Structures are given as C-alpha cells and as structure tokens.
Amino acid sequence: MIRPFDDTTAKHKVVIYGHPALRKRANEITVFDDALRGMAREMFATMTDYEGIGLAAPQIDKNIRLLVVGVIDEEKEDILYLAVCNPAIVDSSGSYDMEEGCLSIPDIRDTVTRPAEITLEYDTLEGERRKIKADGMLARVLQHEIDHLNGVLFIDHLSPIRRGLLSGKLKRLEREQQES
Ligand SMILES: [Zn+2]
C-alpha cells in the first residue's frame, strides 16, 4: 500500500499522560475538507515517526473524533493504513487478553481484556459512512484508539491492583508532563 504521507509531511508532538487533552471527550467531525485530510496525513506521519501502530487526535492535542491506524496486513504482507472519523462500535463478540502500550504512556505495558471481533461504523475522510468488521490486531488497535476519543486510556481497563502497581510510574510521567 502507498504510504498516505511523505517525508515533507509535518509531524506533531504526542502529549504524555497527565496532559488534559487525554481526558476530554473529542468532538464529532462535521466538515470533511482538505484541512481534515491534511490533519490525517500529519497523524500518519507522526504515528510512523513514533513507531506506533495507532494514533488518536487527542494525542496531538486536537479535540476531534479522528484516529489513524497502520497495522501489518499478514495476508497481503503490507501495512494497512486506515483513517477513521466519528467511529461507533455497533457490534462486538468474543474476548481476549493482549499486552498493550500507548505512545502517551511511555514505558508502561500491561495486559488488557477486550472483545476479539468488532463491527465498526465510521466516516471516511470524504464523509462517507462505512461499515467494516475487524478482528486480530486491527480490532485491538481500533478499540484502543476509540477509547482515546472518549478520554479513556488503556490503564483504565486494568484492575485496581494492577493500576496500583503502576501508580509510581504514572505519577512520575505526570510530573514530567507538567514540567515540560
Ligand atoms: Zn494510546
């Protein structure tokens, strides 16, 4: 697949745990214009620069319901790039555990339980409503990034005990964020 950005595409700084943008509910997108498509391109470039597989707009301090993913498509031996606006999970099934990390919570990974398969409705960058089924890594990344649009982080899914064990690290991240 052709990369949806090039070397000249502007990149953004990803905000870190403790930044208020990560705890807000992002706004619905109503205008599907070149500015939106440019923003998506910059998010693809930023995600790739940080070696991430997904990025949501609040992570670059933009309060809109836009996320991008770039996951390996094993069948096609290629990277599947997908930009998703105004997502809604309309159906889900199964459940499985997987270790997750987050560009906004560096150096912390933990196991999160989520549905294995989802049916997703979303708008394309042109404003066309689509419906897709996703499983595996794609379903996982989509759910993680959709959480970001609702101010939810993967650590919120952990048990109080697991979160308690991470509290020292999280406090340190929060301090670093406030000082930066
Ligand atoms: Zn994340």
- Beta-bridged to residue 71, according to DSSP, are 80
Q: Could you tell me the pLDDT band of residue 83, with boundaries at 50, 70 and 90?
A: very high
* Centre of ligand 1 from the C-alpha of residue 19, in Å: 13
Burial of 160 (0-12, 13-18, 19+ CB in 10 A): exposed
Confidence check: pLDDT of 1 > 80: no
Ranges 74-78, 124-128, 165-169, 171-175: which has the least confidence: 74-78
What mean pLDDT is predicted for residues 146-168? 96
pLDDT tens-digit series, residues 39-48: 999 999 999 9
State which residues have CB under 5 angstroms from ligand 1, the bound ion: 102
* Centre of ligand 1 from the C-alpha of residue 146, in Å: 9
Q: Are 118 and 142 in contact (CB under 8 A)?
A: yes
Q: Domain boundaries in the chain?
A: 20-179
Active-site residue 145, yes or no?
Answer: yes
Q: Could you tell me the pLDDT band of residue 110, with boundaries at 50, 70 and 90?
A: very high
* Centre of ligand 1 from the C-alpha of residue 126, in Å: 25
* Centre of ligand 1 from the C-alpha of residue 144, in Å: 6
- Beta-bridged to residue 70, according to DSSP, are 81
Active-site residue identified among 51, 117, 145, 174 = 145
Q: Could you tell me the pLDDT band of residue 76, with boundaries at 50, 70 and 90?
A: confident
The listed CATH number (3.40.50.300, 3.40.50.970, 2.40.30.30, 3.90.45.10) that belongs to domain 20-179:
3.90.45.10
- Rounded distance between C-alpha atoms, residue 126 and residue 36, angstroms: 9
* Centre of ligand 1 from the C-alpha of residue 32, in Å: 24
Confidence check: pLDDT of 180 > 80: no
Mean per-residue pLDDT of the chain? 96
DSSP string, the chain: ---SS-TTS---PPP-TT-GGGGSPPBPP---SHHHHHHHHHHHHHHHHTT-SEEEGGGGT--BSEEEEEEEETTTTEEEEEEEEEEEEEEEE--EEEEE--TTSTT--EEEEE-SEEEEEEE-TTS-EEEEEE-HHHHHHHHHHHHHHTT--GGGGS-HHHHHHHHHHHHHHHHHHHH-
Identify the pLDDT of residue 179: 84
> Would the pTM count as exceeding 0.85?
yes
